[in-house]
Amino acid sequence: MDSGAGACLGRRKKDADLTAPDPLTPRTDTSPDADTPAGPPATALRRALRVLADPWTMLILKEIFNGTRRFVVMQRALNIPKQTLSLRLTTLCHEQMLYRRFAGPGQGVLEYAPTAKTYDLADAMYAIWLWHQANPDDADILPFEIVHKQCGHVLGAQYCCTACGEPATGASVTVERSQPEQFESGPRPRLARRNDASFTAAAPQAGGLVAASLVGDLPCNEILYLLFQGPRHMLAIAAELGLGANVVRDRLDKLRALGLIREEAQGRKLLYSVLPRAEGFFPLLLAIAEWGDRWCNEGQPPPDPRRHACGAILRGRYRCDHCGDWLTRDALLIRPRGGA
Ligand SMILES: [Zn+2]
Ligand SMILES: [Zn+2]
């Protein structure tokens, strides 16, 4: 298993690396000892979010998962400006998440079809849906429901470790560092603008999709991911993520307003930690990080393997609350809310 390599590297002592380079760990330009680290420690989450962290991208992918293939249908469903949609679809094709094909009568209709890389993001999509299902304030904005065909129940599911079958929770997952440690190189991706005027004006109903729009914001996700690893002060968060204090403060305020984190005074400093409501968000981060390990590492080992309490490197999947089966895409039915 490729994640096994990350596990072994995670335990390796640094002096061993110096004398005997591991064949599994090819030296690259981004090798940390080649130069001074160019940026903060690399994480699978950040690599994945370089592709996904855009306010519209997750919403477009949600439409794709619901079966939408045509530009005009997508544009109408999301009420997204044409040029914005066109740019995002071009990017998703470039990332090999979608491909163009012609279909329909006379094969004259252009469609955007998902690749395996997109289908592999299914767990993150379920995570968004399940989060909203579990937070009824927002449930009325979900126009469809997911049914597990095997048992006939509307989906309730937990993200579990495939090695032992037990849930992967904030308390049962430890984030490690592969050796040699990998650092972020190159410029930071442009930060998604949370108040992108076209986004908030055109899609108020989409703006209500808290989980999907949070995924669209890279710093929010990185901060949550870090706080799941333990409480932090604001400046520690800023330093660890290589973000400006003002960006961190802004996102901490947003996450507090969403009831995902709390702030408490510790001496003269403020300490931030995750609230129980955020626990439902953790599988989303894990699913995206695991997707990043599979598709975004460009030949390098997973930078921050996540270890489950059972001792295995986490490979998580959802299992149905009702029948206990592991979820597969074929076993799920998407239908309009309340439909038969
Ligand atoms: Zn386990
Ligand atoms: Zn079931």
CA of 315 to the centre of ligand 1 (A): 8
* Residue 226's pLDDT band (cuts 50, 70, 90): very high
Identify residues whose C-beta is under 5 A from ligand 1, the ion.
Answer: 161, 163-164, 308, 310
Q: What is the pTM of this model?
A: 0.82
Whole-number Å distance, alpha carbon 266 to ligand 1 midpoint, is: 34
Query: Which ligand neighbours the alpha carbon of 320 most closely?
Result: 2
Bridge pairing between strands 144-148 and 157-161: unpaired
Task: Give pLDDT, residue 306.
Answer: 97
Distance CA 59, CA 336 (A): 17
- In sequence order, what are the beta bridge partners of 157? 320
Structure tokens given for 289: 């990080």
Looking at residue 280, what is its pLDDT? 87
In the reported structure, the alpha carbon of residue 112 is separated from the centroid of ligand 1 by a whole-number distance in angstroms of: 37
Does residue 334 or residue 310 have the better pLDDT? Answer: 310
Q: To which H or E segment does residue 318 belong?
A: strand 316-320
The span from the CA of 1 to the CA of 308, in Å, is 15
State the average pLDDT over residues 62-88.
93
Q: Which of 6-20, 28-42, 157-171, 317-331 has the lowest mean pLDDT?
A: 6-20
Sequence ranges of the domains in the chain: 2-19+36-336
Rg (CA), the chain: 20
Q: Cα dist. 47→16, 26, 97, 151, 222 in Å?
A: 28, 19, 15, 36, 11
Task: Give the least confident one: 60-64, 111-115, 136-140, 333-337.
Answer: 136-140
Q: How far is the CA of 305 from the centre of ligand 1 (A)?
A: 13
